Structure 1
C-alpha cells in the first residue's frame, strides 16, 4: 500500500465502523415502533430459517404498532410463534391476515439499562476506530522503514490519521448521544 492510499482506505474502514454502529443501534428498542426491530427474527420456511422480512411485509400501523402481513396464508402462525419466542419481549396478535405487534411502553429501569447497552456499542466502535488508526500508523512506519516515505511524510500522515480518528470518534459520540436522548424521551 502506498502512502497516498493509506488515509482514504482508513477513512473508508472507519465509515464502515460508523455504519455498523448505526445498524446495531437500530436494533435497540425505543418506545416507538420500528420495523427494524424485527430484523433479528427468523422464521422456518420450507425447512430453512429465513429472516422475517423475506416471508412477510413489515409496516408501521401507528407509532406503537408494527404490522406483519405474511405473503403466504399458512405462515401466520409460524411468524407469530417466531416473534413471541424471540428475545424482544413482544406479544403479537393475529387479526385476520395481518399480525399486529404492539410495542409496550418502556419502564425507566429498562431505559437506563438500554442506555448502558448503547454506550457499550459506542465504546466498541471507538475501539474499532482506534485499531484502524493503529493499523494505518503501522503501514506508514513500514513505508518509512522500507525507505518508501520520509520521516516528514510519516509525521504528516500520522497527524492526518489522528485528525480523522478524532473526527470519527466525535461522530460516534454524536450518534450515541442522539440514541440516548431518543431512549430517555417519554
Structure 2
C-alpha cells in the first residue's frame, strides 16, 4: 500500500514498549506490604567513595513474605549499608545481626494503601503521556510525508496503524495499573 513513504512502526512500538517497561520498573519500587527484593533497587550505598547499588555490596534475599535480608559481603560496609537503608525513605528500620541486615516489612494501613494507589495512578498517567508523545511524533512523521506527496489513502492507513499501537499500549498500561492497585489494596 505505502511503497513511497514508510513510517517506522517498529521504532514507534519500541518507544511505547520502553514507556511501559519504565512504568513496570516504577511499580516495582512501590511498597505493597509484601517483601520484594526490587524495593531496594533505588538504594545506593556510599561504598569505597562512590554511590553503589545495594545489590553490589551484598546479597538481597526475601526469606519470608514480610522480611528482606541483605547479607553484606564486606564486614566493614555493614554500617554504611545500614545507614543507606535508614536514609532511603522506604520507612523500614534495619536490624543488624553481624553481616546480615534484616528488614521487617510492616503491615500497611488503609490510608497508606490508598495513597500508594494514587501514586501508582500518577505513574500510569506519566506513562500514558509518554505514549501520547510517541503517537504525536508518529503523526508528525505522517504529516511530513503527506506534505511530500503521500496519498490520502496511505495517510489514513498509517494514522490507523499508529493509533492502533497507541490503543494497545494504553490498554497494557491500564491493565498493569489495575493489577498493581489490586496488589496494593490486598490485605
The alpha carbon displacement at 1:95 in A equals: 1.6
Give the corresponding residue for 1:65: 67
CA distance in 2, matches of 1:62, 1:183: 18
**Can you list the C-alpha shifts for 1:65-96, whole angstroms capped at 9, x where unaligned?**
01101111111111111101111111010122
| TM-score scaled by length of structure 2 | 0.95
| TM-score scaled by length of structure 1 | 0.96
CA distance in 2, matches of 1:9, 1:151: 23
Give the corresponding residue for 2:118: 116
Q: In structure 1, list runs of 5 or more residues that go unmatched.
A: none
For the pair 1:182 / 2:179, whether they are aligned, the reply is no
CA distance in 2, matches of 1:75, 1:85: 15
Aligned residues: 184
The structure 2 residue matched to 1:139, chosen from 118, 138, 141, is 141
Q: In structure 2, list runs of 5 or more residues that go unmatched.
A: none
For the pair 1:153 / 2:181, whether they are aligned, the reply is no
The alpha carbon displacement at 1:23 in A equals: 0.3
The alpha carbon displacement at 1:5 in A equals: 4.3
The alpha carbon displacement at 1:128 in A equals: 0.7
CA RMSD of aligned residues (A): 1.1
Give the corresponding residue for 2:20: 18
CA distance in 2, matches of 1:61, 1:4: 52
The alpha carbon displacement at 1:140 in A equals: 0.9
